Amino acid sequence: MKILVPVKRVVDYNVKIRVKADGSGVELANVKMSMNPF
C-alpha cells in the first residue's frame, strides 16, 4: 500500500504580506515561506 502526502508551500503566518503595485496579487520576493500545517 502506498500513501501520498501532499505538501504545500505558503507564506509564513508571522509575515506581513504586501500587495503588488498593480493589485494583481501578493508580492512573494524575499518573503519567508513555510509548509502549510492544514
Q: What mean pLDDT do residues 6-35 have?
A: 90
E strands, the chain, where? 9-11, 33-35
- For residue 11, count CB atoms less than 10 angstroms from its CB and return exposed for 0-12, middle for 13-18, buried for 19 or more: middle
Give the model's pLDDT for residue 3.
95
Provide the domain limits for residue 15: 1-38
Q: What percent of the chain has pLDDT over 90?
A: 50
Q: Could you tell me the pTM of the whole model?
A: 0.56
What is the count of structural domains for the chain? 1
Residue from 22, 24, 18 nearest 32 by CA? 18
